[in-house]
Every structure is written in C-alpha cells, then in structure tokens.
Structure 1
C-alpha cells in the first residue's frame, strides 16, 4: 500500500449531503460524526477534510490541501490559481449548474447593470462582484454580507449578488433578476505543485473518472428484456440507447436477450410499448456509474 495520502477538501454545509451521495455512487463510503471536520473514508490513500466551500479553493491554492471540490464561483472569488481536474455538474438540490445573479426588488427602477451606478450592493462574492462592475464601467458600494442576503433588499441595500439554484428564495422575497454574472458548477481542482506528484495526479484522475461516471448515471436506468427473433426489428424501432442496444442469443432457443441504458423518464411510456412490440421478462434496474 502506498504511504502517500491525498488531502482532499470537501464542502461542509449545504453541499455536503449531495457530495457524500455522489461519492457513495462512485464507490466511496464517507461517514462523519456530528461537528467533526475529519470524516472517515474507506480508502486509506485519501484523507478528507470538511470545510466551507468558500474556503476550499484558497487552501488548495496555498497547498494546505492537495485538492478539493468547490464551485467555480468560489475559485474565481478566491482568485485561486489551480488545476481543474473535472467539471462536476451537481448542486445542493439538483444536477443543474447554479447561477450567480444580480437581484433587486420587484418594483425597483433598477433594470440593468448601468442602473447600479452609485448604489449599495450586498454579497458574499465581493471580488467577483467588483470585477463584474469594473468590466461594465460601473462604480458602486459593494459590501460583504454575512447571510440572509435576500432580505436586505430594499431596506438596507439597493441590490444583491447571490447564488441561486431554483430561484424559489428570490421569488419568496419578491426579488427579480436583472443579470446573470456567472453560471457555475462544482469543480474538482488541485494545487499546481501537488498535481506534479505522480501519485496525486493518478489518484485524482481515477477519482474524476468515478465521480463523472456516477453523475453520468444520474437519472438513467438499465432495461433488460427477452423477445422472439422475429420481433427484434419492431423492438429496435422504438428503443432508444446511448449507442446501440446489446443483443444476445439465448442458448438453445429462438429467443434473444436485449439490454439498453436510457433516461429513467422515458421508461414509463416505453415499457408498455415494448410489451406490445413483443418483449417479455422486462427488467428495469438502477445504475451507479456509466463510464464511456
């Protein structure tokens, strides 16, 4: 067993549960006691440290961590000069990217970034916001927000720059989006010096393959079925597939076995159609990873 260890920072807080679930589907079991920042993982070559996603890129950049998972928004906010290993499109509630947006009150007369000239803006993403304003030749008072940013409009500030996944919190606080600064996804990123270490580079590349495979399997299932040879063309005509279905001859029989991977949302309507086309013994099963 290698004596080297990959020091990996994982996000604590809102992204923690979805990250742990992703690792589980990738084949890694992570367990953590309440209030602990050092979970156990069933891989002796990985040491996991939990911390806020906002801080992970800074510690990766400084070499305290070899690698970490955090959003592109926080990598840019920390101005971290790191190696991007993998783009992992998942977030707290969905498998969609999040957006960094500018929002104002629904009845505000602020309609564009130019209208923010001289205004007060609250955000956790201070550098990102100032850089965005500078690119648009706008000068505004950007202040750091310690939380509950949505409720500060319009009584405390004129606008906010915040992260949204579904937009539900913005709607609940009667806010409207006037611009999107950034579309951000979770990135597996590495310290540049650590990346030159063959052990760490290989470990991260393998980890990326497994995590990407787990994400690729999201919302997909496998279908198996048997059918008479004479029904093959009818079944193939209605059967979608990632590439081509697998077709095998059953031993000592005129029947075939067909297997395919497809989006789960298609299965409800597809199974009755397959049954009507002559397929039998249809089995649907979940997937953990899909590796192309």
Structure 2
C-alpha cells in the first residue's frame, strides 16, 4: 500500500485494469484477480464495460470495503453541469454507492452531442478549471473518497493548482523505463500528488512516438530488462512492475491468463538491487506508446499535447 497524500487513504501498489477487456469477459477476469489477492480495480466510462462488470460481479460483492475501485470522468462529461451526471452513470453501471478514486480521464473536453465519444474536441485552460471545480464538489459530497486526473502534464497540473481548492490527489499516466517521467515524478512528489502508472509493461500494440518510427519497440523484449530478470529469478514483466513500485508508484496491469494474473501480483514481493534500478532508469530507448492522436487538432503534434514534455 502507498499513501494518497492529503486524504489519509492508501492505494494498493498493484491494480487490475479493465481497459480493452471485452464485456463478456470483464466480470470473470476481475473476479479471478480479486480471488488471488488484487484489491484495486481500475475502470472507466470510456472502456464501455462498466455495466457488465457492475451487474455481473460488483452487484454480488459482500466485501466492498476491502476493494479500492477507480473510475474516470470521460471528456463528454466535462461541462460543469454534466460532471455529476458522469459520476452517477458510472456508479449506476458499477452498482456502487461510492468510488475510492475518481479521475478526469483526459484534459480535453468533447462535445456531448457528437456522434462518437471522441468527436469535436475542445481545449481551454478555463474550461479545465471549471471541470475540476465540479470534481471538488463530488469529493465534498463523499461519493468519491479521492479525486484526481489522468494524462496530465506538469503544466496542466499547475493550471489546476493555481486555482484549485483541492489539489489533485492522483495523476494516472503512462510510465515505464522507456518513459520514466522523471520531471513529472519530481513535480508530483513536491506537490504531494500520488502518481499511478498505466502500461507499466509498455504497450507494444500501440503506435509509437519513438523519434517518428512507425513501429513501437517491445519493452518486454528489451535485452537489458531480460538480463535483469534472469539475474533476479523473475520474469521481465515482474521486473518492470517491481521497478515502478520501488519508485513508490502503484501500477495497473491486466491479463486474460489466470497464471499471468498471479505472476504479476507476485512481483510485489520482489526487491530489485539498487544497481538494477539505476540501470533501468536511464534507458536509451524513449517511447510513448499512447500518442493521443485522437485529441490532436490540425497542425498540432503529440509534443503540443504534452506541453513540450513528450519525454522527461
């Protein structure tokens, strides 16, 4: 468990993610994860499987207080009067009375009348602040035990902090040795914002922004990662999970394999020598797997989305 600063809560060091998990499998996979010891389940409206997870599994929970459940406000719910509706939709779908953590999924507002969930993107600093003020009200209502953001750079975090009553408790971002986020890690620690890492094993199926190369390098195949794994009697995935946890950054993982679900959880018991931690931190390969092209307007680049912080 790692602290969520300012709330008195703790967050499990490893969580089970539900991104891209099919609706007909999500309930059974999450149940498998909980049965073997996962306490944190990460959800989101835009994953389009919350209803199945809630009605097929969470509705039967007798130990809700033993789980830490996260979900996220999608961009079509950013307008201040719609933020609470976004939460109510998620709570209804998940069959829950409250969330342990609720995040603004992206710093982008989308038109709720668009034909799809990614259409007509808009972005203004003042709109982002408006959305956050509505998030603060949800926290004060008790329906969210903590609130935070996802995919926010240091610049966008600072925008909120300049005008917020409540500093974001959490920032969930892509983070792994190819994208160590050193600047963001330092910023969040200084401001008592807990980072959470998604894609801690890399995301080889995603488009890469690795110096413009169209094919992403596979982090799990990296020879340095594999050498460290062999030396520590661990799998490459376990090494990557342990690396993040030893930086005091919780991770989100997922698998459709019961044995892999157990294997990933076992990484929380692994302690890497400092020499291996140091070897993994300045990896020469740099890669952001999730490039957010969907949110780029004409003439903008991924670097613009991240405020000049593509690799840091």
Greater relative contact order (CA < 8 Å, ≥ 6 in sequence): 1
Name the structure with the higher strand share. 1
Taking structure 1 as the reference length, the TM-score comes to 0.26
Larger radius of gyration: 1
Name the structure with the higher helix share. 2
